[in-house]
């Protein structure tokens, strides 16, 4: 009997680190009927394939809850519920950070400057206990859950070290004579316990702040889907919900409206803005028989269309679904600190236990005193404070430095991954180019006269063609205005014609020029053919049979583009180009820019496939784009980078946004990532060098030789210094 396997995504709540994600993943994968389970910590999503005849969502949620987490299994509005839960968690975390620091600072000051009297110690005891129970409670609850499921992580280390420091201090507060009788001075370490909690909470808050919320991109994509459509039913127009539309129904679309479904025109004609699909700025002329897609905008004229794909089958719905899957897929990055902590925690626990046993066996008459002091010193010096700060402090400074350089980093994972990229894929329109049709050449055939420009301005102002708008904009910037013209006619597929002062004028394509009897010299003909070979549009302007001027319209390169591409190559990056434009235009531009690998006439799915092919070759790929049509590729790439002048959706899908659309920020983003990751590695080194040196000393390896025994106070100072060194090293990024 064949099994029916279904694949679903469920939002996971209450995860605080990569170890949590691993716990949820193992809890789900071990259930009967589960074929595959993967948890994405960045998006807080569980992607699971299972047999619904064996496992139900309720059973799955029960298993996840038993592991100490929660699952949203209701499919309706699940993302909204997840967002509400995440916002509530963020607010609670922020309150915990503020509260922990407000109480920890007085404890730290009392520990440093106040005399160690019973009264002072009681004040420190109350404040520390408040920090642990009110603001650090989650560390102890998660640690218990991790131990119960045989998994150790950052929460375990935090709970263990702070508990030992607190309990040891509590004993010394009420039973100091125990140490005095043995010739030792008791110390309390309340400040270590509460400052550890405050620091690690700060790190978690910074990480939560950096992660961002991926669901807003999906919501904006869904906002492009019209909620209603105007259909022809029962011999009349009727507005109906989009969900009730059926294939082959006749849909009526008016100027300015979004097209509700995929289909083809059966009556009328218009220009449609398809930039969300193709990325190209020029609206496309649509006639009877041409296809249109959902979410694109009808600019001019009304038309009727026959629906061919509705609901989840439309191209826009497919884009939304693909972006959801790409964002929900498991992120390649793993949190370095959590990975190390999973090994470090049991190792430190074992060392502390061995230290206690060895001292009990070899310590002589005061064996217990030395054993307990050494064990506590090992646990205190192994405090994860610096370890918890190593990554978030560098990321915080790196993200702030990026903002100063007009680089908006929405995902800390992207900042970590950017320096591993070896291939940059750039969208053409709006990324390499200005993103709008512009008059770039004006070749006068007849002697130039100002009246010609005024006449052309008046005619093109009446034209519905988008190239006419480019000419009008150009003439406006030159200070020209309109003048009176006579009969005006728009010639579909050719251009316009009009009269002025009893003479006939025209402006349009080569076919219109030839029809009106115009001709060009061989040199000018070769020049116009060269322009057209480069993908530029040429408009011929004439009077009667005489050609007055040739106007060239194109989407020009950004001034910084050649410089940026050269800089990227010097950084060792391969550069590729994607465009929905023609093969001819793409080939010409690629040759100009020295790009050897490119793809032309590609739709959103094609762009994503191009990225996937590069990744299949083992490349780490960054995608740079600015349009809705780039959203699938941006989500699929290892790092998605959006241009600030592009659509909001591209900016939300992408993890990095170049806020001023200046491509020169792209190599800066790469070097910023490289410097930040280097700082993280240095931080981790400094976080552990104290442990590698200090733990053996705390365990007493120097005592037989020189009588040196590291007491917990010195261990606590070493721990504090390791945290300071990590923060100072991160701050270097500000001035690098």
DSSP 132: I
Token reading at 716: 């606590």
Q: Is 38 helix (H, G, I), strand (E, B) or coil?
A: strand
Measure CA of the first residue to CA of the last residue in the chain; give whole Å.
Answer: 64
Tokens 């994860």 locate to: 384
308 C-beta neighbours (distance < 10 Å), count = 16
The active-site residue, picked from 411, 427, 626, 675, is 427
Alpha-carbon span 268 to 305, nearest angstrom: 9
Name, in order, each residue with C-beta under 8 angstroms of 206's C-beta and a sequence gap of 6 or more. Answer: 392, 393, 395, 396
Residue 328 and residue 47 in contact, taking contact as beta carbons nearer than 8 Å:
yes
Backbone angles phi, psi at 274, to 5 degrees: -105, 20
Tokens 């008016």 locate to: 254
CA-derived radius of gyration, the chain: 34
Degrees to nearest 5, angle at CA 464 with 459 and 465: 95
Alpha-carbon span 213 to 80, nearest angstrom: 11
Q: Look up 427 and say whether it is catalytic.
A: yes
Alpha-carbon span 473 to 378, nearest angstrom: 73
Alpha-carbon span 13 to 86, nearest angstrom: 8
Degrees to nearest 5, angle at CA 312 with 310 and 315: 75
Q: What angle separates helix 336-362 from helix 385-404, to the nearest 10 degrees?
A: 160
**β-pairing verdict for 303-309 and 250-253:** antiparallel
Q: Look at residues 276, 318, 314, 312 and name the one whose alpha carbon lies nearest to residue 296.
A: 276
Tokens 């992580």 locate to: 153
Q: Look at residues 719, 687, 730 and name the one whose alpha carbon lies nearest to residue 196.
A: 719
Alpha-carbon span 569 to 588, nearest angstrom: 20
Strands, E assignment, 404-462: 407-409, 423-427, 438-444
Token reading at 325: 């899957």
Q: Look at residues 472, 405, 439, 382 and name the one whose alpha carbon lies nearest to residue 694.
A: 382
Alpha-carbon span 531 to 524, nearest angstrom: 11
DSSP 331: P
Degrees to nearest 5, angle at CA 61 with 57 and 64: 140
Alpha-carbon span 384 to 158, nearest angstrom: 7
Residue 47 and residue 7 in contact, taking contact as beta carbons nearer than 8 Å:
yes
Give the DSSP H or E segment for 578. strand 574-578
Q: Which spans in 183-253 are helix H?
A: 190-211, 215-223
Q: Which spans in 578-663 are helix H?
A: 583-593, 604-616, 631-636, 648-653
355 C-beta neighbours (distance < 10 Å), count = 26
688 C-beta neighbours (distance < 10 Å), count = 18
Which positions are annotated as active-site residues? 427
């Amino acid at each position: 009997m064949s099994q029916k396997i279904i694949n679903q995504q469920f939002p996971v709540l209450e995860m605080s680190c990569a170890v949590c994600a691993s716990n949820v993943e193992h809890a789900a994968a071990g259930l009967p009927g589960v074929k595959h389970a993967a948890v994405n910590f960045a998006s807080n999503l569980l992607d699971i394939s299972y047999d619904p005849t064996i496992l139900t969502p309720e059973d799955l949620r029960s298993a996840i809850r038993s592991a100490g987490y929660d699952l949203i299994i209701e499919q309706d509005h699940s993302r909204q519920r997840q967002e509400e839960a995440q916002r509530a968690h963020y607010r609670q975390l922020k309150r915990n950070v503020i509260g922990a620091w407000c109480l920890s600072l007085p404890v730290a000051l009392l520990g440093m400057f106040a005399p160690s009297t019973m009264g002072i110690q009681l004040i420190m005891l109350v404040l520390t206990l408040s920090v642990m129970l009110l603001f650090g409670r989650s560390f102890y609850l998660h640690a218990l859950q991790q131990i119960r499921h045989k998994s150790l992580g950052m929460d375990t280390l935090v709970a263990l070290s702070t508990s030992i420091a607190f309990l040891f201090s509590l004993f010394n507060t009420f039973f100091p004579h125990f140490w005095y009788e043995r010739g030792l001075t008791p110390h309390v370490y309340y400040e270590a316990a509460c400052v550890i909690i405050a620091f690690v909470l700060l790190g978690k808050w910074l990480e939560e702040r950096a992660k961002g919320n991926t669901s807003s991109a999906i919501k904006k994509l869904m906002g492009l889907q019209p909620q209603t459509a105007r259909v022809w039913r029962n011999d009349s127009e009727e507005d109906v919900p989009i969900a009730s539309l059926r294939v082959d129904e006749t849909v009526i679309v008016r100027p300015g409206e979004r097209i509700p479904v995929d289909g083809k025109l059966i009556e009328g004609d218009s220009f449609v803005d398809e930039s969300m699909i193709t990325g190209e700025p020029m609206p496309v002329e649509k006639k009877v028989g041409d296809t249109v897609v959902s979410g694109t905008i009808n600019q001019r004229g009304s038309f009727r269309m026959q629906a061919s794909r509705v609901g989840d089958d439309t191209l826009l719905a497919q884009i939304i679904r693909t972006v959801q899957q790409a964002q929900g897929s498991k992120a390649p990055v793993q949190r370095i600190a959590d990975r190390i902590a999973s090994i470090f925690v049991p190792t430190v626990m074992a060392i502390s236990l061995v230290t206690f046993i060895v001292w009990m066996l070899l310590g002589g008459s005061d064996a217990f005193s030395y054993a307990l002091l050494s064990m506590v010193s090992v646990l205190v010096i192994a405090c994860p404070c610096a370890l918890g700060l190593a990554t978030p402090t560098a990321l915080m400074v790196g993200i702030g430095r990026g903002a100063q350089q007009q680089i908006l980093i929405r995902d800390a994972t992207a900042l970590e991954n950017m320096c591993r990229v070896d291939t940059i894929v750039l969208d053409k329109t709006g990324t390499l180019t200005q993103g709008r049709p512009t008059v770039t050449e004006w070749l006068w055939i007849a002697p130039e006269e100002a009246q010609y420009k005024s006449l052309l301005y008046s005619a093109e102002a009446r034209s519905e063609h988008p190239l006419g708008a480019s000419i009008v904009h150009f003439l406006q910037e030159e200070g020209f205005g309109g003048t009176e013209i006579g009969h005006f006619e728009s010639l579909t597929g050719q251009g316009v014609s009009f009269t002025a002062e009893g003479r006939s004028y025209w402006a349009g394509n080569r076919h219109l020029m030839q029809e009106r009897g115009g001709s060009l010299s061989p040199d000018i003909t070769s020049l116009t053919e060269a322009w057209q070979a480069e993908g530029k549009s040429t408009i011929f302007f004439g009077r009667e049979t005489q050609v007055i001027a040739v106007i060239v319209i194109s989407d020009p390169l950004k001034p910084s583009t050649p410089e940026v591409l050269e800089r990227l190559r010097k950084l060792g990056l391969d550069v590729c180009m994607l465009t929905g434009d023609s093969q001819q235009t793409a080939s010409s531009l690629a040759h100009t820019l020295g790009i050897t690998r490119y793809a032309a006439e590609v739709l959103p799915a094609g762009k994503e496939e191009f990225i996937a092919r590069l990744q299949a070759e083992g490349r780490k790929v960054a995608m740079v784009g600015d349009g809705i049509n780039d959203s699938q590729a941006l989500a699929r790439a290892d790092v998605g980078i959006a241009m600030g002048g592009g659509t909001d959706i591209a900016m939300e899908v992408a993890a990095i946004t170049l806020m001023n659309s200046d491509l020169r920020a792209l190599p800066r983003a790469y070097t910023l990532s490289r410097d930040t990751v280097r700082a993280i590695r240095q931080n981790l080194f400094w976080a552990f060098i104290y442990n590698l040196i200090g733990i053996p000393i705390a365990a007493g390896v120097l005592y037989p030789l020189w009588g040196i025994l590291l007491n917990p106070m010195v261990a606590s100072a070493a721990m504090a210094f390791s945290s300071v060194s990590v923060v100072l090293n991160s701050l270097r990024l500000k001035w690098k």
